[in-house]
Amino acid sequence: MAFHWSSTATQTLSAAALSALLLTSAMKHFRDPGFYRQVVPDYLCRDEHGSPAAPPASAAVASTRPLAVMTRDEWIALSGLVEAGAAVGLLIPATRRVTATGVAALFGVFLSGHVDAIRRAYGPDGSPVQRKVHTVRLPLQVPLILWAWSLRNAGRRTGS
């Protein structure tokens, strides 16, 4: 008797693979946060020290960054926690659709960080290594978004 992969089995395997990728990435956020530092846009980051007695120049920067509610390291930790939660949510069939939608949106949001990182890499302070790394990382977001989006239809028949 021949074995036939069902669409549900394929979706489950795909969800498990994306879950493993997310969990690996989440762990890397805490083991090697420096890997993610360049993809957190400056406009999201407040003063690393968060000191209330910041010098006047810092206050001027803060007023031009209304989204700067956390430090770069806090953003990295938060995104690692979100990825870990998403990894779990993808494994649970009852939460897979909403989690996959959220993961696709999350990867879409991450895209802006990658665009900002590549802009800086090709700017006057960028290095050849940064240009290579971010030139590779940016286009990888598209298949990740599509992969997450494809998991939204887990278990649905496609008319065949």
CA distance 36 to 117: 10
pLDDT of residue 6: 82
> What confidence tens digit (pLDDT) does each residue in 98-153 have?
999 999 999 999 999 999 999 999 999 999 999 999 999 999 999 999 999 999 98
pLDDT of residue 63: 57
Residue 111 contacts by C-beta under 8 Å, 6 or more apart in sequence?
A: 138, 141, 145
Q: Name the CA dihedral angle for 27, 32, 33, 39, rounded to a multiple of 10 degrees.
A: -100
pTM for the model: 0.81
Q: Give the lowest-confidence range in 20-24, 50-54, 64-68.
A: 50-54
